[in-house]
Structure 1
Amino acid sequence: MSRKLASALSPLSMDVIDDSAKHAGHLLHPGGVEPRGETHFTIKITAAAFSGQSRLQRHRMINHLLAEELRNGVHALAIEAKAPGE
């Protein structure tokens, strides 16, 4: 995720935090009881690409960039996306 976001947005700062342990047991393998692993993340990112964009547009941009991850196991993203100077 970090590489995709960095490549597409050239952020001034970025933290991708794995929050999965805080949600242990919330999302289970179909028919099983084992945790799925890395499923919940917080993304804190500041990039010029967000200038002039609404909060919704910023979130959509990130969700679009991470569509493959969201289809393949990432269950939740908490997003804090800012333009420089915000």
Structure 2
Amino acid sequence: MKPVETSIHRALTEAFEPLHLEVLNESHQHNVPPGSESHFKVVLASEAFVGKRQVQRHQAVYGALAEQLRGPVHALALHTYSPEEWRDANQVPGSPPCLGGGAKS
């Protein structure tokens, strides 16, 4: 893992003790320099999300990643689940293609 990806993984593991955690660097799908760590997708299942609305879950993740969001992270796609929701999930939604910044389609 690269440094930013590692710091995101570490922060989320410490904050949420996840049942499942994926941190995917999707920067290569955007109009950024090679090797960038600016666009991420996080799939996170945790007991901490039981009884919480999506907005509350996302706010908690933003809080845990405040340092990364102040710095290198430009975009963060969040898919948050309670353990029961994760067991019932058929698949995680894919990320849409980048349409900005002069990227080729």
Query: Unmatched 5+ residue regions in structure 2?
Result: 1-7, 86-105
- Aligned twin of 1:45: 44
For the 8 Å contact 1:24–1:35, the answer to whether it is kept is no
Query: Unmatched 5+ residue regions in structure 1?
Result: 26-33
> What pairs with 1:1-86 in structure 2 (closer than 5 Å)?
1-25=8-32, 34=33, 37-86=36-85
SS of the equivalent of 2:18 reads coil
CA distance in 2, matches of 1:58, 1:65: 11
> Runs ≥4 in structure 1, deviation > 3 angstroms?
none
Between 35-44 and 10-19, the greater mean CA deviation after superposition: 35-44
* Greater fraction strand: 1
For the 8 Å contact 1:46–1:81, the answer to whether it is kept is yes
Whichever residue aligns with residue 81 of structure 2, its letter is K
SS of the equivalent of 1:61 reads helix
Q: TM-score, normalised by structure 2?
A: 0.70
% same residue: 38
Q: Which has the higher contact order (CA 8 A, sep 6+)?
A: 1
